Structure 1
Amino acid sequence: MPRLRWFLLLPVLLCALLAGCGSAPVVTAVAPVAQTASPQALAPGDVAVTGDVATPFTLTPAKLASYPQKTVPATFRSGTALEAHTFRGALLSDILPTSALAPAPGKNPFLSFAVLGRATDGYQALVAYGEFAPDFANTQVLVATVQDGKPLARPRLVVPGDGRGGRYVTDLVELTVVRVAP
């Protein structure tokens, strides 16, 4: 009887496989380049910058403080509550200017990049490069070190303008740059 079930399931599996072979383009992420130290091995407050960058590096608290500091207000819904905060930190566009990214060919090549923020607990959120690039949307996405005047134990990725706080990555440990390729 088990063989009969596989026999009946085979046409369904074949149809599913063939449906994925249409003419629509498939989008895949380009494999990231070698990473820096494992995020688990980082000192408290450090953030590994890995992936499709010219040179992977680690953002230490001192390095983050060396970037121009920006203060931005942010209001977002978290669960059923509305939260309003003021964040201070370095702009993601200062941390990852186009010169920090791995070279990419084509027209507006940096619009195919995105940054994936990952927290110590594995939570992840993605921000497209065009959202925070100065020549495009220029959203003031921060790697915040201060919230409401109080220093954070670990940086937080802050995406002002989002209606929900889902892309606010608390206890940030890694920023992985990815390039989407056709």
Structure 2
Amino acid sequence: MTRLLIGIAALVVGLLVGCGAPAVAPAPAGAPAEVPPVGTVRLTGDLVAPTGVTLEDLAALPQQTVEVSFGSGQGRQTRTETGPALADVLPADALAVAPDRHNDLLSFAVLAVGSDGYTAAVAYGDVSADFGDRGLLLSLVEDGRALERPRLVVPGDVRGGRYVSDLVELRVVRVR
């Protein structure tokens, strides 16, 4: 299982580094990266119909509240996060699956991109209720405070490295 995860991570890094266009266009030194308007998240990549969602769209979806804990450079952090499940934002029928491939949903990853260009990947199997169902969500409210941009929350992450703040893009990529 560890080898599979390492292989998927290597493929995703390869996609980001040289096999395709970067998720966020590089900006000249000192200039901010090109980002969509505040409150908008682009849904791109291997989707049936790439689109975008607004904070209002996300708030209209069923909301979940979870308490998460993770380690950071400042020590142990505990947060209460509220927002829609990532599976509701990117449902299985939105992905460009091949109907003739067995469990094709497991061939996808989601790259979450922050406004600063920080990118983290999650396997779609961890998103899907039919497989890992890890409870990933896009937080709109953290510790009772509304966020200006959503935050990807990955419950169970030991160090919170796949938490992506100031989310601007969710790029679905086929990894096999």
Normalising by structure 1, what TM-score? 0.77
1:117-167 C-alpha deviation (Å, 9 max, x unpaired): 000110000000011210111111011110001001111000011111100
Structure 1 residues 80 and 151, CA, compared in 2 at 3 Å: closer, same or farther?
A: closer
For residue 63 of structure 1, the aligned residue among 43, 57, 60 is: 57
Give the partner amino acid of 1:131. D
Instruction: Tell me the CA shift for residue 80 of structure 1.
Output: 4.9
Partner of 1:99: 93
**Total equivalences in the alignment:** 150
Partner of 2:4: none
Partner of 1:10: none
Partner of 1:47: 41
Is 2:78 the counterpart of 1:87?
A: no
**How far apart, CA to CA, are the structure 1 residues paired with 2:74 and 2:96?**
40
**How far apart, CA to CA, are the structure 2 residues paired with 1:41 and 1:178?**
20
Is 2:165 the counterpart of 1:170?
A: yes
Q: For residue 34 of structure 2, give the secondary structure of its aligned residue in structure 1.
A: helix
**How far apart, CA to CA, are the structure 1 residues paired with 2:35 and 2:145?**
26
Q: Which shows bigger deviation, 150-159 or 101-110?
A: 101-110
Partner of 1:78: 72
Instruction: Tell me the CA shift for residue 103 of structure 1.
Output: 2.3
Give ranges in structure 1 of 5+ residues lacking alignment. 1-25
Q: For residue 54 of structure 1, give the secondary structure of its aligned residue in structure 2.
A: coil
Q: For residue 40 of structure 1, give the secondary structure of its aligned residue in structure 2.
A: coil
For residue 153 of structure 1, the aligned residue among 148, 157, 161 is: 148
Q: For residue 83 of structure 1, give the secondary structure of its aligned residue in structure 2.
A: strand
Structure 1 residues 156 and 41, CA, compared in 2 at 3 Å: closer, same or farther?
A: closer
Task: Show structure 1 runs of 4+ deviating over 6 A.
Answer: none
Give the partner amino acid of 1:81. G
**How far apart, CA to CA, are the structure 2 residues paired with 1:153 and 1:175?**
17
Give the partner amino acid of 2:154. V
Give ranges in structure 2 of 5+ residues lacking alignment. 1-9, 24-32
Is 2:175 the counterpart of 1:180?
A: yes
Structure 1 residues 41 and 156, CA, compared in 2 at 3 Å: closer, same or farther?
A: closer
Matches within 5 A, 1:26-45: 40=34, 42-45=36-39
Instruction: Tell me the CA shift for residue 41 of structure 1.
Output: 5.3
Q: Is the 8 A contact 2:35 2:168 kept in 1?
A: no
1:91-114 C-alpha deviation (Å, 9 max, x unpaired): 001111110001224110000111
For residue 142 of structure 1, the aligned residue among 137, 144, 164 is: 137
Q: % of aligned pairs identical?
A: 48
